[in-house]
Amino acid sequence: MTIDWGWIADHVDDMWSTTVEHLILTVIAVTVGLVLSLVLAIVALRWRRSYAPITWVTGVLYTIPSLALFTFLVPVFGLSLLTAEVALVSYTLLILIRNIVAGVNGVPAHVIEASRGMGMTDRRIFLGVQLPLALPAIIAGVRIAAVTTIGLVTLTVLVGQGGYGVFILRGIRRQFLTEALVGTVLSVLMAVAVDVVLIVVEQWATPWSRRRAAS
């Protein structure tokens, strides 16, 4: 087993464009997942009894084997970006909703009481107090969702999308180890890089928690 360094040198441009595809697929999935999760989390927070059914449904989605989900969706949406994203988004929901709800519920009751007592409206309390204070938990959820999604995007090649899955699948079919390995290693590297970026984003977005650690 040897690595074909010559092939790698010849395909740098290819790797670059594949990286961009992979990243776009990931960003769309996590962004849509986050927006959808925010809406569902607000519903769950507003009507407490809806939390159990929401987590049950998203929990079931989370347990469906990804290969099977792509297969089920193809007859509906075809070999399309939509199929890929519907599957990818559905895997982010459980983690994100749970973290948003936990983050918002973790805001101390006395902070909410003081907010209300000073004349803040419920909307303002949610947007100005609960959501910002839930940020560490939300970003922690986004980190898990992003890393998971980056791994899953390698499968979207099966529904005709790009990304590192192209290298992996082609490498396996041609029994060309170097290409499969390049796809795998790049996917892992991207997961690590995105995780690090999100850690930096969290520190930047929550200066108060950083200072507490310092003091």
Which residues would be at the binding site for another protein (CB under 8 A)?
108, 110-121, 124, 129, 132-133, 206-208, 211-212, 215
**Alpha carbon 196 to chain centroid distance?**
14
- Minimum distance between the CB of residue 118 and another protein, rounded to whole angstroms? 5
Per residue in 171-188, is it b (16+ CB within 10 Å) or e — as a string? beeeeeebbbbbbbebbe
Q: Which of residues 114 and 172 has its CB atom nearest to another protein in the complex?
A: 114
Q: Which of residues 87 and 100 has its CB atom nearest to another protein in the complex?
A: 100
Whether the CB-CB separation of 79 and 159 falls below 8 Å is answered with yes
Q: Which of residues 132 and 151 has its CB atom nearest to another protein in the complex?
A: 132
- Minimum distance between the CB of residue 131 and another protein, rounded to whole angstroms? 10
Q: Which of residues 59 and 128 has its CB atom nearest to another protein in the complex?
A: 128
Per residue in 92-117, is it b (16+ CB within 10 Å) or e — as a string? bbbbbbbbbbebbeebeeeebeebee
- Minimum distance between the CB of residue 121 and another protein, rounded to whole angstroms? 5
- Minimum distance between the CB of residue 214 and another protein, rounded to whole angstroms? 9
Q: Which of residues 71 and 203 has its CB atom nearest to another protein in the complex?
A: 203
- Minimum distance between the CB of residue 5 and another protein, rounded to whole angstroms? 50
CB atoms within 10 A of CB 165: 24
Q: Which of residues 8 and 125 has its CB atom nearest to another protein in the complex?
A: 125
- Minimum distance between the CB of residue 128 and another protein, rounded to whole angstroms? 8
